[in-house]
């Protein structure tokens, strides 16, 4: 569509420019104005993504809203953007979560406010870039650049051990993604000088090369997802990050890795993916079961939710590598649902942390007595986190389990056990924190949600319920693209 | 690489050198009549000379001929003028001029802003330019000696400082040794080919190589023997392992303004020297020297990146970072010829050139920032001194952040494309394992750059003192940092320029 409005560019650059504007407003004196400006930027960023959904042609499996401009001719690198049914929802989710993050930091962050909001807005734009890039170098640039704002967010506004967590986060992900760079350069070489991801989809490669590339990609994306055993940075990063940082990390950043599997590993290396699916399934099941059990024994709420995130992301990777449409769509639905639910859970912990300045489960008890509205909302999110029907958490997990059942009973059996672990760790935490007698004087003095928190959690509650009760608008968008992907993966290309 | 070769009778292409020589002499004499407090006049002359040289080079580049690959030889082949020479000279002017702006206040506060500094700087630049345009071993050697002698003296500029004089001594002794090695290697090659002229040497080597029984013959061994010494000489100038010993001591010992000079423009000359000798002269022996460069590259990246972690002095840390970067740059130089096939050569060498230019730009910024944060009597040297910079000046903390992420090779900064280009050349040459080693070592490297970001952003300053600096320095430092970011977003122009420079060799 020549002359069409470049909505994807808007989705990327509106938040970034808004972030730079916020940064330009200077010191903390102007904090109220900076908050307003950041809110405006986040809203504008979300507004420009709405046409991506309303104007999306769900019947087509191809890339839509394509923008293609030469960027670095020397390397045949293009500014090539586009979304299909797989990626479009993540752009929306990301822009939506950015609004929540702005709300979440509203009265909590009083220190270097402009830098805080600028980091999040820039991060949001960069992540939209990852989801819409169709050029290998462009993808890599966005993928890596997201590390910088997140590094700053964790390191500047984080908890006591923030420096360790920030460095660990950065170096882990960098180590993974540099091998991605070598893989990308190898593909560039093999494809005769093209960085277009869609060209790579059609590129025939011998099995041996596919396997090596698969491991190159695996390391980059597995660190990001994160999959067992390269997940150890996540609990540290989550515990130390400010609430907004945890929300973005869990809701969007982890999805970058999972998205990488669907955009790179599966279509570019279909044979290696089939060949090594056993490995991916095994790692996913370890994440689901073992990490689920690890979550059970956590005493820190944020850490518990961090482990629960890893466990849920195990479902996503499991869904992708059982190669049927229920599995892949289930994985994608789970990604979006986890975006809502984990964001909500981290916001809930943030709400309590802002009041009590502790995340230890043992410090709480009987919160329902003083914060009934909060307890009600958190109940919903806890249910969603444990995959109760009628919440979004159920849809994705159910689809993946159904898909797995087609592949093998035992995989489905192991995966389904999450319904027990998930319920156990989430509801047990909920019980210890919310119910029971009022644990101490601090809890007795708690005040219920303020309108700002109510708004953020309320929006998420609506999203969780809507997706749980009527998932069709979400899955409809994916059908064509996922079908095309599976047809593509089924064909050998050695 | 098939430019028109014309023996030029007109001496126009060496106008910049002539201008610089005249300017440096004028400056030397004028400085005798200028009192210490009016040293600004000398400074102004130096800057004017640089601007004049830049205009002259621009005139040589665009003024007198069509836009096609050109290559002119002057003085019977002693002096070469081609696109690469002009591009590198331009970069050298910019780098030296920026270094002057950055160091003026710093040197003035320490009583070092004397005529010597500027005279030596201009003569060093002349040496750099002669090296860049060298068409013969002799010219190259003369340029190298001129450059080195000026730098030895500049390191010892602060003659009351024991550290500085020690560094100068070390630099001088090791530098003299390296010059000797280079000269020895050159004489071997002269013995084997019978010529000092680089083009002639190339022709002779090609003839020798096309003859039967060349591989493993005594002539071949003789040439490779000489080549080893030539490579050692180049490695010393670049500062790659195992010829790096001088670098940390000199970087740390010299006044920061001099470190800034040593760490920037001379790298351009070292790169030009590598291209002139290895590519222009001995490309037919590429199989031999590429193997040597592989070892140098890996050793430099490993030692540079790992040792830098242990440093608490920023200048010393940046010295090890230089070693690692130059090792990375070698990845481009060693990827040109694959099994006798030169198809990859323009890509690979232009990647190395891009890397060098970007490195010089980043290095200028990083050392410039250290000068910027130093005060009268207070050196910004240890990591501690960078603590909490974000509190003191968010803008310059951001500039430093950009520079550090660029040095670490994180997009969207110029440093990323430098790494991308070089790695791409290595992968295209089939050296995938080398690329993997390089990226793994650069993860280790990322740690110490991140540590600086951590100190600036996550830690509280020791004392909250606003940053100073003259207006011209503040503006130029900002431009420098933004240029690194700007080249990270739009690297195409500079990449294309490097490509045309290499194509015109």
Q: Is the pLDDT of residue A239 over 90?
A: no
User: What three-state secondary structure class fits A289?
Assistant: helix
Question: What whole-number distance in Å separates Cα of residue B76 and Cα of residue A303?
Answer: 75
B428 and chain A: CB distance < 8 Å anywhere? yes
Residue A15 has phi, psi (to 5 degrees) of -65, -40
Neighbour-count burial for A69-81, b at 16+ CB within 10 Å, e otherwise: eebbebbbbbbbb
**In contact, B268 and B125? CB cutoff 8 Å:** no
Q: Is the minimum CB–CB distance between A151 and chain B shorter than 8 Å?
A: yes
User: What tokens were used for B95?
Assistant: 């780098």
pLDDT at B143: 93
**β strands within B108-184, DSSP E:** none
Q: Which helix (H) or strand (E) holds B22?
A: helix B15-32
**Phi, psi (5° rounding) for residue B80?**
-115, 140
Residue in B474, B351, B470, B362 with CA at minimum distance from that of residue B414: B362
Q: Do A74 and B499 touch (CB under 8 A)?
A: yes
Of the candidates A144, A167, A189, the beta carbon closest to that of B411 is on A144
Q: Which chain A positions have a beta carbon within 8 Å of B390's beta carbon?
A: 112, 115, 156
Chain A interface, best mutation among B441, B454, B490, B494, by max A CB count within 10 A: B454
Within 8 A of A118 by CB-CB distance, chain B residues are none
- Reference A459, options A70, A96, A175, A94; nearest CA is A96
Cβ A178–B440 below 8 Å, yes or no?
A: yes
Cα–Cα distance measured from residue A185 to residue A213, given in angstroms and rounded to the nearest whole number? 11
State the burial class of residue B179 (Cβ atoms within 10 Å of its Cβ: 0-12, 13-18, 19+).
middle
pLDDT for residue B150 = 93
End-to-end Cα, chain A, rounded Å: 34
d(CA A200, CA A268): 6
In whole angstroms, give the CA distance from residue B45 to residue A257: 57
Of the partner residues B390, B394, B410, the one whose CB lies closest to the CB of residue A148: B410
Q: Are A320 and A335 in contact (CB under 8 A)?
A: no
Q: Does A152 touch chain B (CB under 8 A)?
A: yes
Tell me how close the Cα of B243 comes to any Cα of chain A, in angstroms.
28
Contact A103, A109 (CB under 8 A): no
Q: Do B435 and A148 touch (CB under 8 A)?
A: no
pLDDT of residue A157 exceeding 80: yes
Tokens describing residue B352: 């190395």
The stretch A182-193 carries a mean pLDDT of 87
* pLDDT on residue B59: 84
Gap between the Cα atoms of B362 and B407, Å rounded: 7
Q: How far is CA A269 from CA A216, A315, B272, in A?
A: 11, 21, 42
- Say which residue the tokens 């007198």 belong to: B64
DSSP A227: P
What is the nearest CA distance from A493 to chain B, expressed in angstroms?
22
Residue A478 CB contacts under 8 Å (≥ 6 apart), including other chains = A85, A86, A89, A329, A332, A333
A216-240 CB burial, b ≥16 within 10 A, e <16: bbbbbbbbbbbbbebbebbbbbbbb
User: How far is CA B80 from its chain centroid?
Assistant: 19
Other C-beta atoms within 10 Å of B117: how many? 26
Cis peptide before A382 (omega within 30 of 0): no
Alpha-carbon distances of B450 from A171, A365, B26, B282, rounded to whole Å: 9, 41, 46, 40
Tokens of A289: 């079961």
pLDDT per residue rounded down to tens, chain B (505 residues): 444 444 445 777 888 999 999 999 998 888 888 877 777 788 888 899 999 999 988 888 776 555 566 778 888 888 888 888 889 999 999 999 999 999 888 888 888 888 888 899 999 999 999 999 998 999 999 999 999 999 999 998 888 888 889 999 999 999 999 999 999 999 999 988 888 899 889 888 888 888 777 777 888 888 889 999 999 999 998 889 888 888 999 999 888 899 999 999 999 999 999 999 998 888 888 888 888 999 999 999 999 999 998 888 888 999 999 999 999 999 988 888 887 788 888 889 999 999 999 999 999 999 998 888 887 677 778 888 888 888 888 888 889 999 999 999 888 899 899 999 999 888 888 888 888 899 888 888 888 898 888 888 888 887 767 777 788 888 999 999 999 999 988 888 888 888 888 888 7
List the one residue out of B124, B119, B54, B123 whose CA is nearest residue B91. Answer: B54
Burial class (CB in 10 A: 0-12, 13-18, 19+), B133: buried
pLDDT classification of A1: cutoffs 50, 70, 90: very low
CA distance B28 to A464: 77
Q: What is the pLDDT of residue B460?
A: 81
Candidate from B420, B446, B499 with C-beta closest to A174: B446
A209 touches chain B (CB under 8 A): no
Relative to beta strand B70-74, strand B4-7 is: parallel
Q: What is the DSSP string of B35-92?
A: -GGGTHHHHHHHHHHHHHHHHHHHIIIIISS-SS-EEEEEGGGTEEEEHHHHHHHHHH
Chain B nearest-CA residue for A137? B420
Question: Does the beta-carbon distance from B405 to A148 stay under 8 Å?
Answer: yes
A408-467 pLDDT per residue, tens? 888 888 888 888 888 888 888 888 888 888 878 877 888 888 888 888 889 889 988 888
Say yes or no for a CB contact (<8 Å) between A174 and B443: yes
Contact: A163, B454; criterion CB under 8 Å: yes
How many residues are listed for chain A in this entry? Answer: 494
A160 CB within 8 Å of a chain B CB: no
Answer positive or negative: Cα dihedral of A380, A381, A387, A391: positive
Give the model's pLDDT for residue A397.
87
3-state secondary structure B444-470: HHHHHHHHHHHHHHHCCCCCCCCCCCC
- Report the half-sphere exposure of B161 (CA within 13 A, side-chain side): 18
pLDDT score, position A468: 86
Q: Does A17 touch chain B (CB under 8 A)?
A: no
Judged by CB atoms closer than 8 Å, whether chains meet at B450 and A167 is answered as yes
The pLDDT tens digits of the residues spanning A35-45 come to: 888 888 888 98
Q: For residue A436, what are the contacts with CB-CB under 8 A and spacing of at least 6?
A: A365, A366
Of A155, A174, A185, the CB nearest to B458: A155
Task: List pLDDT tens digits, range A347-390.
Answer: 888 888 888 888 888 888 888 888 888 888 888 899 888 888 88
B443 contacts in chain A (CB < 8 Å): 171, 174-175, 178
- In a 3-state reduction of DSSP, which class is residue B504? coil
Cα A71 from Cα A296, distance rounded (Å): 49
> Is B427 an 8 Å CB contact of chain A?
yes
Distance from CA of B244 to the nearest CA of A (A): 27
Average pLDDT of span A121-144: 91
Q: For A24, how many CA atoms within 13 A lie in the half-sphere containing its CB?
A: 7
Joined together, the tokens standing for residue A494 give: 């050695």
Read off the tokens for A384: 């969603």
């Amino acid at each position: 569509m020549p002359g069409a409005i470049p909505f994807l560019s808007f989705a990327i650059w509106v938040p970034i420019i808004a972030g730079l504007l916020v940064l330009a407003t200077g010191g903390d004196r102007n904090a109220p104005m900076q908050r307003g400006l950041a809110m405006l930027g986040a809203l504008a960023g979300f507004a420009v993504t709405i046409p991506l959904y309303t104007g999306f042609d769900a019947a087509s499996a191809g890339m839509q809203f394509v923008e293609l401009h030469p960027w670095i001719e020397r390397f045949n690198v293009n500014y090539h953007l586009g979304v299909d049914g797989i990626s479009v929802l993540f752009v929306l989710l990301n822009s939506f979560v950015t609004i929540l993050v702005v709300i979440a930091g509203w009265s909590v962050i009083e220190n270097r406010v402009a830098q805080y909001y600028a980091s999040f807005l820039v991060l949001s734009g960069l992540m939209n870039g990852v989801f819409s890039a169709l050029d290998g170098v462009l993808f890599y640039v966005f993928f890596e650049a997201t590390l910088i704002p997140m590094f700053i967010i964790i390191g500047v506004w984080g908890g006591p051990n923030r420096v360790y967590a920030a460095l660990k986060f950065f170096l882990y992900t960098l180590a993974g993604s540099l091998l991605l760079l070598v893989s990308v350069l190898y593909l560039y070489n093999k494809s005769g000088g093209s960085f277009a991801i869609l060209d790579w989809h059609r590129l025939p490669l011998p099995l041996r090369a596919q396997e090596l590339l698969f491991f190159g990609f695996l390391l980059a994306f597995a660190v990001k997802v994160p999959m067992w055993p390269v997940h150890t940075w996540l609990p540290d990063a989550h515990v130390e990050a400010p609430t907004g940082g945890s929300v973005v990390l869990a809701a969007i950043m982890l999805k970058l890795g999972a998205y990488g599997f669907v955009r790179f590993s599966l279509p570019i290396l279909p044979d290696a993916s089939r060949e090594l699916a056993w490995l991916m399934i095994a790692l996913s099941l370890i994440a689901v079961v073992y990490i689920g059990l690890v979550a059970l024994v956590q005493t820190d709420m944020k850490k518990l939710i961090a482990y629960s995130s890893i466990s849920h992301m195990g479902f996503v990777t499991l869904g992708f590598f059982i190669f049927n449409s229920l599995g892949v769509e289930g994985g994608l639905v789970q990604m979006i649902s986890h975006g809502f639910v984990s964001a909500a859970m981290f916001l809930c912990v943030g709400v309590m942390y802002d009041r009590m300045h502790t995340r230890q489960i043992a410090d709480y008890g009987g919160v329902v007595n003083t914060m009934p509205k909060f307890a009600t909302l958190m109940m919903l999110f806890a249910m969603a986190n444990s995959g109760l029907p009628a919440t979004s958490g159920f849809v994705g997990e159910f689809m993946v389990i159904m898909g797995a059942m087609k592949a093998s009973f035992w995989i489905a059996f192991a995966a389904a056990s999450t319904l027990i672990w998930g319920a156990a760790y989430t509801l047990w935490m909920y019980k210890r924190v919310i119910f029971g007698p009022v644990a101490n004087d601090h809890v007795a003095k708690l005040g219920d949600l303020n309108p700002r928190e109510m708004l953020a959690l309320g929006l998420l509650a609506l999203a969780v319920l809507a997706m749980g009760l009527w998932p069709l608008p979400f899955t409809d968008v994916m059908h064509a693209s996922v079908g095309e992907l599976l047809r593509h993966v089924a064909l050998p290309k050695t | 690489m098939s430019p028109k070769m014309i023996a030029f009778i007109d001496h126009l292409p060496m106008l910049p050198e002539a201008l610089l020589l005249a300017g440096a002499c004028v400056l030397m004499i004028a400085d005798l009549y200028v009192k210490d407090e009016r040293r600004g006049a000398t400074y102004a002359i130096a800057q004017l000379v640089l601007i004049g040289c830049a205009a002259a080079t621009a005139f040589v580049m665009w003024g007198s001929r069509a836009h096609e690959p050109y290559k002119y030889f002057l003085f019977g082949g002693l002096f070469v003028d081609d696109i690469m020479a002009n591009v590198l000279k331009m970069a050298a002017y910019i780098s030296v001029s920026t270094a002057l702006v950055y160091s003026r206040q710093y040197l003035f506060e320490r009583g070092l802003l004397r005529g010597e500094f500027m005279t030596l700087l201009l003569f060093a630049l002349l040496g750099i330019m002669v090296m860049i345009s060298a068409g013969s071993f002799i010219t190259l050697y003369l340029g190298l000696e001129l450059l080195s002698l000026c730098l030895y003296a500049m390191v010892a500029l602060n003659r009351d400082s024991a550290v500085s004089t020690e560094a100068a001594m070390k630099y001088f002794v090791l530098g003299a040794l390296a010059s000797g090695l280079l000269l020895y290697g050159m004489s071997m090659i002269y013995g084997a080919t019978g010529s000092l002229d680089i083009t002639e040497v190339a022709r002779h080597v090609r003839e020798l190589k096309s003859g039967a029984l060349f591989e493993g013959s005594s002539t071949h061994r003789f040439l490779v023997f000489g080549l080893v010494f030539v490579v050692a000489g180049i490695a010393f100038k670049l500062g790659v392992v195992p010829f790096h010993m001088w670098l940390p001591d000199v970087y740390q010992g010299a006044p920061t303004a001099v470190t800034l000079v040593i760490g920037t423009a001379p790298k351009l000359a070292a790169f030009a020297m590598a291209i002139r000798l290895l590519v222009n002269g001995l490309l037919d022996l590429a199989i031999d020297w590429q193997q040597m460069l592989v070892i140098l590259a890996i050793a430099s990246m490993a030692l540079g990146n790992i040792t830098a972690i242990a440093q608490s002095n920023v200048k010393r840390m940046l010295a090890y970072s230089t070693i690692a970067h130059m090792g990375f740059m070698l990845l481009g130089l060693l990827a040109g010829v694959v099994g006798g096939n030169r198809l990859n050569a323009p890509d690979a060498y232009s990647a190395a050139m891009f890397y060098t230019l970007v490195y010089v730009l980043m290095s200028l910024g990083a050392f410039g920032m250290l000068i910027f944060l130093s005060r009268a009597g207070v050196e910004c040297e240890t990591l501690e001194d960078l603590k909490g910079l974000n509190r003191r000046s968010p803008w310059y903390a951001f500039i430093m952040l950009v520079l550090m992420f660029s040095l670490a090779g994180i997009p969207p900064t110029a440093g990323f494309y430098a790494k991308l280009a070089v790695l791409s050349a290595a992968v295209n040459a089939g050296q995938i394992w080398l690329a993997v080693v390089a990226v793994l070592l650069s993860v280790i490297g990322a740690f110490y750059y991140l540590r600086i970001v951590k100190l600036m952003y996550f830690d509280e300053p020791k004392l909250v003192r606003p940053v100073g600096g003259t207006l011209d320095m503040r503006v130029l430092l900002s431009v420098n940092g933004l240029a690194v970011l700007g080249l990270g977003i739009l690297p195409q122009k500079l990449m294309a320029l490097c490509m045309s420079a290499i194509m015109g060799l």
